[in-house]
Amino acid sequence: MKKFFWLKFSLSFLLIPLFFFCFQIKFSQRKLAFLASPVNATTDYFKHKGVVFKPWDQTNTDFAQTCPNCGPMGGIYFVNWNQIHTGQKSFNFGRIINILNAAKQMKTVPFPDGRRIEKPMFIEISFFRGDSPGDYTPAWVYARGAAPKSVTCNGKTINAPPYDSDIWKYSFYEMVRGVGEYFEAHKSEYPNLAGFIFGTGYDDEAYPAGSGCDYPNIGSYYHSFLQGLAKNAHETFPTIPVYLVTGGQSFNKTLTEAAEQYKVGLKSNTIHDGAGEANMFSYSGSGSCSQIAGNPQYLTKDFPWSAAALTNEKVSWAFEDARSFQFAGGQNAYAQLMMIMSFKADWMDFRDIAAFQELAKANASFLNNFVPSYLGQTKSRTPGVWIGFRDIRNPTIFTNEWTRGQEIQCWGSCTCHTHTFGDFEFYLKRVGQDSSEKVFLETGQTYGFGRKIPASSQMTLKVEDGVWFKNESRNAKLRLVVLNSGSGSIEIAFKKADGTIHTETIDKGSSLGVTGKFVEVERLLPAVKFDGSMGSGGDIIIRAVGGESILHLFEIRPTLTPVATNTPVLTPTLTLTPTPTQTTSASSSSFRGFSAGWNSLSWNSSWSSLSFSNLPSECPFIVYKKDGFFKAYARGYSKDEMFTSGVYYIFCRNEVSWHP
């Protein structure tokens, strides 16, 4: 599925004066030395876990200031091939160096563990886009004997790169090697360099030319170019992550297999509203219809979302957001993030900050805690496991050609079958006999999907094999998002370390919160053991008692160390939706200081102001709620924020005395 989105972008950033440090790099006529050591295993490939990246960050936005409730964010800076490869074996990396140095002066908002890091940046290098002039091959490459190809696209002639030209192809590889050799040698100067993204074709995606283009006899040459690109990236970037942009069916398999072989990353720009959900289909027929894709029972490397499901433990994947979500708001942004995390993506980009801000109003802790905790995590290091129960998203927001679970005519002689795609799973899945039913509740709800367990029925969940705490005895925290119907209860049964069964009972009603709405319930669990002995190889049984129950999310976070007792132990986790451990007002005579973790601090009218300079150094974060947002402040900002009213939440690393 191709996108023609360039006209949507403001060209204002092109008018901003750019004072590029003239950074000429000359290479001798010798061959560039390959740094030929292998990259790390995929589980260690991407270093900036938990960061969401904003594409087209050409002006280096300080997201901690412009979107403080959006979680840790970085940027993607685009540069064209002809802007950095100034001649044969000659390079100018001034644009890249300038943006990295500028971003180093900024910091992300805090991660859940309290860290703030220099704003991370990806550099995306393009050679062929849908704007003008389109082909960004350096002029000197064509002067050496290569020539652009005239390609007809929807009745219009454009110039396209000559993938069958060795001069063109090896010049591009020279650029890849030049970038790799320089930045691998200087990586200590740019700790905020998240990696490089290399465009692979039209609009940076793996298409030799755009949709509706006739580029005859080029397929085999283009396949060869993509394979060589993966090989060169592998050989010259031993430690810096590199991502190649995938595309449509014809060439996605080539890139997926090349990424598996050469251990480079892949970025899909086609997992959006249609391609991510409604296009989860299989099709049958003759000719181009013979492939089966989308159905989880028939996964294929021909499509990015399907290839990711097949290879996400071997290949580092990244995904683009759905631009259509800018019209649908925060609820759909939430579903998009859940989908991408369930594909075990290492990172994602998100184009529409407005949708992020809308999501932050409804669910700030999701962006500030949940996403940075889980995005990019693996079985060996994940803080927990979770499952989002669902049907496919509301079909009314799909284009009219897509329907739910029906056979439709989609193109030519192809008969397509759409599918209700499964749960959002993060190393936790439903197993065995399951009497739950799909439901979709959108109106007036924060969450747009869930599953119903009928009265006196149950479902069974299993922690996937290979998760680091599988088969170990640990205390844990349970989090359940459930529709508070006002009556009945939910029973959740686990096996304890001593072999007995522990059951948590959650009674629905006014004591649980607002009825008719989804509510979050958290419980501390005694030492439990997920060893697959709860029936059907499961670890957790959830029962609906005294009426049906509709569940949205189930999460388990173990403590970091094994425990031998049944005393609940919970490692404090920083979240920007504070849960104070101490609620005494600072104006009270009993107030003596702060506890470790979150503390509530009520304003004393006798104070003139409050700032970080007034607080102990052990307390690096202040959060308060205003206009539906949790505003977070941290030591290290350019100015010492002054506060004058309200209720504040103070996070302290340790217990500390303080007298206002």
- Angle (deg, nearest 10), helices 219-236 and 166-185: 20
- For the stretch 142-146, contacts whose Cβ atoms lie closer than 8 Å and that sit 24 or more positions apart, written own/partner, are 144/88, 144/171, 146/171
Structure confidence at residue 19 as a pLDDT band (50, 70, 90): very low
Q: Which residues contact 519 (CB under 8 A, 6 or more apart)?
A: 481, 482, 483, 484, 512, 513
DSSP secondary structure string for all residues of 79-96: EEHHHHEEETTEEE-HHH
What is the structure's pLDDT at 190? Answer: 97
Residues forming a β-bridge with 390: none
Task: Identify whether the C-beta of residue 526 lies closer than 8 Å to the C-beta of residue 502.
Answer: yes
Select the highest-mean-pLDDT range: 164-173, 449-458, 466-475, 517-526: 164-173
Starting from the edge strand earliest in sequence, which strands make up the sheet with 24-26, in order? 24-26, 90-92, 85-87
**DSSP strand pairing (458-463 vs 540-545):** antiparallel
* CATH fourth-level superfamily of 427-558: Galactose-binding domain-like (2.60.120.260)
Cβ neighbours of 430 (radius 10 Å): 20
Q: Between residues 343 and 256, which one has the greater pLDDT?
A: 256
Find the mean pLDDT for residues 54-62. 94
Task: Report pLDDT for 636.
Answer: 56
Residue 88 tokens read as 């044969």
572: closest CA among 657, 655, 653? Answer: 653
> Given pLDDT bands bounded at 50, 70 and 90, which one contains residue 655?
confident
Query: Over 189-244, what HEC string results?
Result: HCCCEEEEEECCCHHHCCCCCCCCEECCCCHHHHHHHHHHHHHHHHHHCCCCCEEE
Q: Residue 309: what pLDDT?
A: 77
Q: What percent of the chain has pLDDT over 90?
A: 44
- Whether 82 and 172 have beta carbons less than 8 Å apart is answered as no
The residues spanned by each domain of the chain are 21-379, 427-558, 593-657
Which 3 state secondary structure label does DSSP give 7? helix
386 CB burial (10 A radius; 0-12, 13-18, 19+) = buried
189 Cβ contact list (under 8 Å, min separation 6): none
Amino acid at 417: H
> pLDDT tens digits, residue range 537-592?
999 999 999 999 999 999 999 986 433 322 222 222 333 444 444 444 454 555 67
Q: What angle do CA 133, 138, 141 make, to 5 degrees?
A: 125
The interaxial angle of helices 353-362 and 330-342, nearest 10 deg, is: 100
| CA-closest candidate to residue 37, choices 262, 359, 291, 289 | 262
Q: How far is the C-alpha of 134 from the C-alpha of 127, rounded, in Å?
A: 8
Q: What is the DSSP pairing of strand 428-431 with strand 458-463?
A: antiparallel
According to DSSP, residue 580 is labeled -
Q: Tell me, what's the pLDDT at 600?
A: 75
Read off the pLDDT of residues 209-265 as tens digits, 9 standing for 90 and up. Answer: 877 788 888 989 999 999 999 999 999 999 999 999 997 667 888 999 999 999 999
Peptide bond preceding 216 in cis form (omega within 30 of 0) = no
Residues 99, 219 contacting (CB under 8 angstroms): no
Closest to 477 (Cα-Cα) out of 560, 379, 376: 560
**pLDDT score of 6 more than 90:** no
Query: Residue 10 — very low, low, confident or very high, per pLDDT cuts 50/70/90?
Result: very low
Q: What is the largest CA-CA distance in the chain?
A: 84
Q: How many CB atoms sit inside 10 A of residue 512's CB? A: 17
Residue 155 has pLDDT above 60, yes or no: yes
In the prediction, which pLDDT does 222 show? 94
- Whole-number pLDDT of residue 306: 72
Q: Which amino acid is at 487?
A: S
pLDDT per residue over 299-322, tens digit each?
667 767 778 878 888 899 998 875
Quick one: how many helices (H) and strands (E) in the chain?
A: 12, 37
Phi, psi of 234 (to 5 degrees): -60, -40
**Buried residues in 97-135 as b, exposed as e (16+ CB within 10 A):** bbbbeebbebbbbbbbeeebbbbbbbbbbbbbbbeeebb
Q: Provide the token pair at 38.
A: 């292998």
Give yes or no for a contact between 529 and 481, defined as CB atoms under 8 angstroms apart: no
- The superfamily (CATH) of domain 21-379 is Glycosidases (3.20.20.80)
* Residue 279 host element (H or E): none
Q: Element (H or E) spanning 527, and its range?
A: strand 518-529
What is the predicted pLDDT for the residue at 406? Answer: 37
Give me the mean pLDDT over the 646-653 stretch: 74
With a cut of 60, say whether residue 638 has pLDDT above it: no
Q: Is the pLDDT of residue 100 over 90?
A: yes
Tell me how far CA of residue 209 lies from CA of 59, 170, 215, 306, 464, in angstroms: 29, 19, 7, 23, 42
Choose the weakest-confidence range: 118-127, 428-437, 484-493, 518-527.
428-437
Mean per-residue pLDDT of the chain: 77
Apex CA 79: angle with CA 73 and CA 84, to 5°? Answer: 135
| Within this chain, domains 21-379 and 427-558 share the same CATH topology | no
Q: What is the pLDDT of residue 559?
A: 82
What's the rounded Cα separation, in Å, for the pair 75 and 78?
A: 10
pLDDT at 33: 32
